[in-house]
Amino acid sequence: MKVTLIHGQDHKGSSYNIGRMLSEKIPGADITEFFLPRALNHFCKGCYTCTKDETKCPFYEEKRVIMEAVETADILVFTTPTYCMRASAPMKAFIDLTFTYWMPHRPRKCMFSKKAVVISTAAGSGAKSATKDVATALQYWGVPYVKQFGIAVQAASWDQVSEKKKGKIENKINKLAKSVQKPRVHVGIKIKFLFRIMRLMQGKGMGSDESERVYWEEQGWLGKARPWNTIQ
């Protein structure tokens, strides 16, 4: 099973360690991981060239390496420390730089059968808001199974986390690791509804660029095909 981890930080702290703990509990996991901002040290420039042609994004080559690992993964694991009650800035920059994957633009069929886990640790509060930042993006990518694990660790580093806390985390991660291995993924009503709205919009030529409408047409989505159907 291919597991791709995206870390919204370039150090191996509590969020990283919990992400690794989860991944290593998945039998036979083939793990690929990226550390931000090392793997993608940019902010979106707002030039909109990607809405016409994704390959023309000034940061396309770095994104391509990461997104190939994302697209071919069975399970995605995102980790981010909670910074000022939200996801880290590198994680937010990654979300911005991949916005053409969102359903209003060029969603990828492969996303509609993926599973993802979003992990964040805070010293005290804000971890749930931090995981939600990433979970929202994943929902707009079309990922049907997104579990959020936000936890207060009362620590600035993994070494400072008490053994009692680590034990509690491990118990929860054991359950999550079992859940994420279950074979079936059900595309829920929320994603189907979002897709339907975006389909109407693209069908009326109301996307960001005509090339988006062409993309939707090529996928067959302006007709009867849907990205969550395996037989079309």
Ligand X SMILES: Cc1cc2nc3c(=O)[nH]c(=O)nc-3n(C[C@H](O)[C@H](O)[C@H](O)COP(=O)(O)O)c2cc1C
Q: What are the residues binding ligand X (CB under 6 A)?
A: 9, 13-16, 81-85, 121-126, 153, 155-158
Angle between helices 89-97 and 127-141 (to 10 degrees): 10
- DSSP state letter for 83: B
Tell me the closest approach of the beta carbon of residue 91 to ligand X, in angstroms.
11
Which residue is closest to ligand X by CB? 13
Closest approach of ligand X to the CB of residue 34, in Å: 15
Query: How many alpha carbons fall within 13 Å on the CB side of residue 123?
Result: 6
Question: What is the rounded CA–CA span in Å between residue 140 and residue 212?
Answer: 16
Is 21 or 110 the residue whose CB approaches ligand X more closely? 21
- Contacts of residue 101, defined as CB under 8 A and 6 or more positions apart, other chains included, come to 67, 107, 108, 111, 141
Residue 119 C-beta: closest distance to ligand X, Å:
9
Tell the smallest beta-carbon distance from residue 173 to ligand X (Å).
15
CB nearer to ligand X: pick between 124 and 167: 124
14/100 with CB nearer ligand X: 14
Cβ proximity of 222 and 216 under 8 Å: yes
CA distance linking residue 180 with residue 102, whole number of Å: 23
- 10 Å CB burial of residue 27 (0-12, 13-18, 19+) is exposed
Q: State the DSSP code for 58.
A: T
- Cβ atoms within 10 Å, residue 197: 11
125 vs 174 by CB, closer to ligand X: 125
Q: Which is nearer to ligand X, 111 or 122 (CB)?
A: 122
Shortest reach from residue 90's CB to ligand X, in Å: 12
Return the number of the residue (24 or 68) whose C-beta is nearest ligand X.
Answer: 24
Least Å from the CB of residue 217 to ligand X: 43
